[in-house]
Amino acid sequence: MRNDVYDIGEVPPLGEVPPRMHGMLVRPDRFGDPTVAIRDEVLDVPELGAHDVLVATMAAGVNFNNVWAARGVPIDVTKGQARWGEPTDFHIVGSDASGVVYAIGSDVREVAVGDEVVVHPGQWNLDDPWVASGNDPGLAASFRVWGYDTCWGSMAQFTKVQEHQCLPKAEHLTWEEAAAPTLTGGTAYRMLFGWPPHTVQPGDLVLVWGGAGGLGSLAIQLVANAGGRAVAVVGSPEKADYCRSLGAVGSINRRDFSHWGVPPRWDAPAWRDWLDGAKAFGKAIWEAAGEKTNPRIVFEHPGEDTIPTSNFVCDRGGMIVICAGTSGYDTLIDVRYLWYLQKRYQGSHLMNTAQAAAFNDLVRAGTIRATLGAAYPYDQIPQVHHLMEEGGLPDGNVSCLVNAPQTGLTTLR
């Protein structure tokens, strides 16, 4: 007899889609700490549109956007879901997955039931005039983050995605390894190769903030693979060793400096102290690089704490490329450094399918390591996000099992 709902880890026969499923949800009436906001509930499996694919999630990658979704900050993610015709009273977290295709919409051609896939997180309206004209879908007005701006995220037994989001899973990776790198890796790929002429060239020096983190651990490898030289910024000596093992030419411990945050006004006496700190940091980059060269690309995401320094140390004609403001959004750019040395301050957000596929091909070829720091069981998803917010997760990327068998896991105490 067909089950109404399967237990976590109990996979239905291929192609059999039960009416109900388990999922990790946030609801607006419990926004707050992830341990309170994110909860397991049983709900209906979503209906598919003509271009949609239903993936049985084997493992789901953990990303910071789930923390923002749980907190309801800076936006209430459920409000925007109406725009895509989705429910607005709940939101399933998760924007990274590995899994098996269980059902396809009537117009799906490139993906078949039984395919083993990873899922990239960029979605858009397929009939968006910008996209239909052949432009970068990453810049479309209908662009959205699956599992953040949309309802049916990866931390559920089934997830609804668009056909183009499905990419072939690297055969040599376990489900939990495969689930981890696509969101951060594709984002790093767009930041480092999506904004010509500031793409990583052989010999380029690239400063990578948070080098041991999800984004940074993949950015270092992408820089090294393109012949560039990554200098990683880290918060401990152990993380420095990890970054070197990924291909960084050197590292800087940010705890050795104290000039972080918004600097005093340029005409205040205390501004000089800030400048001394920024100059000392610049010198530390030269020492780490082994030569007096400034970074042509600065890979930014901490935001408020670090942008003034990034703007100061970036090379003449170089680019600060930023995808987040983890430490805050009210940052300061001293425009003297920007205009006089003709630097570029470039925002970047996720990826398009071509960029996700280019990154995934490097993973499939074994050129890029998946940097899985740990994998946790499904029921610990809320605590894992609490730890992420506190900076308490292991180096690299982290994933959680959904339907995959539980082997070699790290369990939180």
Residues lying near ligand NAP in the complex (CB under 6 A) are found at: 63-65, 183-184, 187, 209-210, 212-216, 233-235, 239, 254, 301-302, 305-306, 323-324, 326-327, 349-350
Closest approach of ligand NAP to the CB of residue 376, in Å: 15
Report how far residue 380's alpha carbon sits from residue 391's, in angstroms, rounded to the nearest whole number: 16
CB atoms within 10 A of CB 298: 29
Closer CB to ligand NAP, residue 131 or residue 183?
A: 183
Closer CB to ligand NAP, residue 209 or residue 378?
A: 209
Closest alpha carbon to 100 in 60, 59, 55, 61 = 55
Report how far residue 199's alpha carbon sits from residue 201's, in angstroms, rounded to the nearest whole number: 6
Closest approach of ligand NAP to the CB of residue 19, in Å: 34
**Pairing between strand 52-62 and 397-401?**
antiparallel
Closer CB to ligand NAP, residue 45 or residue 393?
A: 393
> Strand locations in 263-392, DSSP E?
297-300, 319-322, 344-347, 372-376
Closest approach of ligand NAP to the CB of residue 323, in Å: 4
Closer CB to ligand NAP, residue 120 or residue 239?
A: 239
82 burial (CB, 10 Å; 0-12 / 13-18 / 19+) is exposed
Q: With residue 106 as reference, give the H or E element that holds it.
A: none
Closest approach of ligand NAP to the CB of residue 216, in Å: 6
Are the beta carbons of 123 and 183 closer than 8 angstroms?
Answer: no
Closest approach of ligand NAP to the CB of residue 222, in Å: 13
Closest approach of ligand NAP to the CB of residue 238, in Å: 9
Closer CB to ligand NAP, residue 30 or residue 349?
A: 349
Closer CB to ligand NAP, residue 12 or residue 147?
A: 147
Q: Where are the alpha helices (DSSP H) in 293-404?
A: 307-313, 335-340, 353-364, 381-389
Taking CB atoms, the residue at the shortest distance from ligand NAP is 213
